[in-house]
Amino acid sequence: MDVLRFFILIFFSVSILSAQDYTTILWDSNNKLTWENFKGKIPLHSRAAATTASGVTYKYSAQRIRGELNVSFIVSAYFYPKKSWYNPSLCDSLILSHEQLHFDISELYARKLKRKLDATTFTHGSLKKEVKSIYNVVMAELNSYQNLYDKETNFSRDLEEQLRWNKKIREALK
């Protein structure tokens, strides 16, 4: 009996640890990131000050009503704390705002994905494939836009450009 309890305890502990690896923060205009949200380890030999891991997920349900396929979507932007990190000796509030904007850009593209999905008429036979195709196109655009943001702001080093981007994304999210 003690051996069984031991294995149950180990299984429960591993399950909790695994679940913690996938902890996420849902984007919310009222909740900004803090350095405490960045829980990942600094990669060895990294020269970057910080990295924000964020992304876009979707769920959908479909049903046929009177011969017509009705599809509804939930699209969300998430921040991944265990994959995001910062070097305290290199970071300040400006860099935190730069990292926040990466998360905000993910939200912007989550909204873009939702609009595209809602505007598409899907066929029942290839729904999954069509949704995935739209997702892949929008995620490629998101990746390019994130890279453009880093390039134009020189990873937050160009204050004038950083402020321009802050305003641009703030307006886009309204």
In degrees rounded to 5, what are phi and psi of residue 63? -150, 150
pLDDT of 2 > 80? The answer is no
Running DSSP on this structure, what letter comes out for residue 77? E
User: Which range among 5-9, 82-86, 102-106, 138-142 shows the weakest confidence by mean pLDDT?
Assistant: 5-9
CA distance 147 to 140: 11
pLDDT in tens, 59-83: 999 998 888 889 999 999 999 999 9
Q: What is the pLDDT of residue 21?
A: 56
Extract the tokens encoding 160.
């004038």
Candidates 49, 79, 76; CA nearest to 135 is 76
Confidence of residue 124 (pLDDT cuts 50, 70, 90): confident
Q: What is the pLDDT of residue 19?
A: 44
The three-point CA angle 36-89-35 to 5° equals 15
| Arithmetic mean of pLDDT, 81-92 | 97
| Helix runs in 36-158, H state only | 93-119, 127-153
pLDDT in tens, 19-34: 445 699 999 999 999 9
Q: What is the pLDDT of residue 1?
A: 39
Can you give the residue ranges of every domain in the chain?
24-173
Extract the tokens encoding 165.
């981007």
pLDDT of 126 > 70? The answer is yes
Are the C-beta atoms of 29 and 172 separated by less than 8 Å?
no
Q: Which residues of 96-126 are buried (b: 16+ CB within 10 A; e: fewer)?
A: bbbbbbbbbbbbbbbebbbebbeeeebeeee
CA distance 174 to 161: 20
Q: What is the pLDDT of residue 167?
A: 98
pLDDT of 8 > 50? The answer is no
Running DSSP on this structure, what letter comes out for residue 57? E
Residue for token pair 């069984």: 4
Confidence of residue 120 (pLDDT cuts 50, 70, 90): very high
Q: What is the pLDDT of residue 10?
A: 38
Q: What is the pLDDT of residue 14?
A: 37
Q: What is the mean pLDDT of the chain?
A: 89
pLDDT in tens, 128-157: 999 999 999 999 999 999 999 999 999 999
